[in-house]
Amino acid sequence: MKKTPLFILLILFSFTQLFAQAQTDNYVLLKPDRVFDGQQMHTGWQVLVKGNHIEAVGEAGSITAPASTKIIDLKGTTLMPGMIEGHSHLFLHPYNETSWDDQVLTESRAERTARAVVHAKATLLAGFTTVRDLGTEGAGYDDVGLKTAINKGIIPGPRMLVATRAIVATGSYGPKVLVNETDMLKGGEEADGVDGITHVVRSQIGHGADVVKIYVDYRWGANGEAEPTFTVDELKTAVEVAKSSGRTVAVHSGTTEGMRRAIAAGVTTIEHGDGGTPELFKMMKEKGIALCPTLAATEAISTYHGWKKGFDPDPAGVKHKHYIFTEAMKAGVTICMGGDVGVFTHGDNAREMVLMAEYGMKPIDVLRSATSTNAAVFGLKELGNIKTGYLADLVAVTGNPADDIKAVKQVQLVMKDGVIYTN
């Protein structure tokens, strides 16, 4: 075989090095009307991006850009950190299309993964550059594979924090059938007792879980009502094991007793929180436990049952969401933005933000919740803020969302890791 001369190899090596350097040294200057930096709104600011990091941010006169810089004029827009979806299920789609049971039991894993790929792209293009995906609901560890495919650049999608199978008490979760001999696929992984839950938490972490998701109550009461599933000791063990590996713990809870046990165990976030009371919210505030209220899921399910918002009186579930959301804010509980998307359409993630404002949160606080607050609660370093040295996950929206939160739905540009996906 003919050998390539050494000098040609050296030239090729040098070209490769120069090409790689050129990629990492690319500069982009973004010139919006205003910048929301994750904390405050600033008029007349600009952002200089180098490669996949923010090189500089501030007033126009304070930024010096190289001559080769690509300039993107974003007149009429607000530039903000890439939004962070706090409660997503990329392997589910709206229940008015296909019921949850039928998705788990009749849709193939190939179909569910194909849908998840589409959902991931829709989420990214809606301006959500990161998602916390809280369970595949019967699709095993496929969220780990989806995350890997996104990270490798095989498919477009947001950064993912994944919970894999989620953890449920034996007999509590669906799908359920009356044929005892049937070995049914479950929407979560069953665990029992201190030893059992220790094993399952470690197993899910070993399979790639970034966050441990636990159902601390569910609809398994004598008459189908929601009741607690795990004991305080079981939950404390799960939290201890998860946190010893640097993982956070998110818990599904819809009952007062379930919330009480979760708070006693020291979880990171409580999802839904329908059993919340002023006393429990006070305890959450004291312990630094955040609430992810999932307002949009409650409203979506009500519409599937025939409710016409704006025409019909609010159903009891919607009224109760108003109550717990108000009480949590009164108590000063940290509130994460997360809508339980998958119950409703992926790409419509901002529906939760619109409802948060509608339910009484100031728009500027809604913006913080979807950016810097979620980043802090979920342990996402270099995300959720526009600061020098942070990752270049940025979104430009038409208008000023601090005046009208609906502006977050008018996405003009998405940048993730320095790469522009839509303009």
Is residue 331 domain-resident? yes
What pLDDT band is residue 183 in, cutting at 50, 70 and 90? Answer: low
Together in a domain, 163 and 311: yes
What pLDDT band is residue 224 in, cutting at 50, 70 and 90? Answer: confident
What pLDDT is stored for residue 194 in this prediction? 97
Together in a domain, 68 and 113: no
Summary mean pLDDT of the chain = 93
Together in a domain, 41 and 134: no
Question: Which CATH number covers residue 134?
Answer: 3.20.20.140
Three-state DSSP at 337 gives coil
**Final residue in a domain of this structure, among 295, 330, 349:** 349
Together in a domain, 297 and 398: no
Is residue 149 domain-resident? yes
What pLDDT is stored for residue 9 in this prediction? 34
**Residue that wins the pLDDT comparison between 366 and 12:** 366
What pLDDT band is residue 348 in, cutting at 50, 70 and 90? Answer: very high
Together in a domain, 263 and 396: no
Round to whole Å and give the CA distance between 371 and 386. Answer: 10
Together in a domain, 52 and 188: no
| Whole-number percent of the chain with pLDDT over 90 | 89
Together in a domain, 212 and 121: yes
Question: Which CATH number covers residue 61?
Answer: 2.30.40.10
**Secondary structure (H, E, C), 175-210:** CCCCCCCCCCCCCCEEECHHHHHHHHHHHHHHCCCC
Amino acid present at 225 = E
Total domain count, the chain: 2
β-partners of residue 29 are: 48, 71
Together in a domain, 192 and 278: yes
**Final residue in a domain of this structure, among 349, 368, 399:** 349
Round to whole Å and give the CA distance between 294 and 322. Answer: 11
Is residue 356 domain-resident? no
Is residue 360 domain-resident? no
**For residues 22-43, average pLDDT:** 89
Count of CB atoms situated within 10 Å of the CB of 129? 27
Is residue 2 domain-resident? no
Together in a domain, 169 and 221: yes
Instruction: Dump pLDDT digits (tens) for 242-274.
Output: 999 999 999 999 999 999 999 999 999 999 999
Instruction: Dump pLDDT digits (tens) for 310-328.
Output: 999 999 999 999 999 999 9
Together in a domain, 263 and 408: no
Count of CB atoms situated within 10 Å of the CB of 197? 24
Site of tokens 């199978």: 165
Q: Are 372 and 335 in contact (CB under 8 A)?
A: no
Together in a domain, 197 and 235: yes
Instruction: Dump pLDDT digits (tens) for 61-100.
Output: 899 999 999 999 999 999 999 999 999 999 999 999 999 9
What pLDDT band is residue 5 in, cutting at 50, 70 and 90? Answer: very low
**Final residue in a domain of this structure, among 349, 367, 401:** 349
Together in a domain, 74 and 222: no
Is residue 365 domain-resident? no
**For residues 195-211, average pLDDT:** 98
Q: CA separation (Å) from 267 to 214, 216, 250, 253, 325?
A: 10, 11, 7, 12, 19
**Is the pLDDT score of 123 beyond 70?**
yes
What pLDDT is stored for residue 179 in this prediction? 63
**Is the pLDDT score of 353 beyond 80?**
yes
What pLDDT is stored for residue 182 in this prediction? 60
Write out the E strands in 201-285. Answer: 211-215, 217-219, 226-228, 248-253, 269-272
Its domain, for residue 40, covers 23-81+386-422
Is residue 380 domain-resident? no
What pLDDT band is residue 22 in, cutting at 50, 70 and 90? Answer: very low
Is residue 372 domain-resident? no
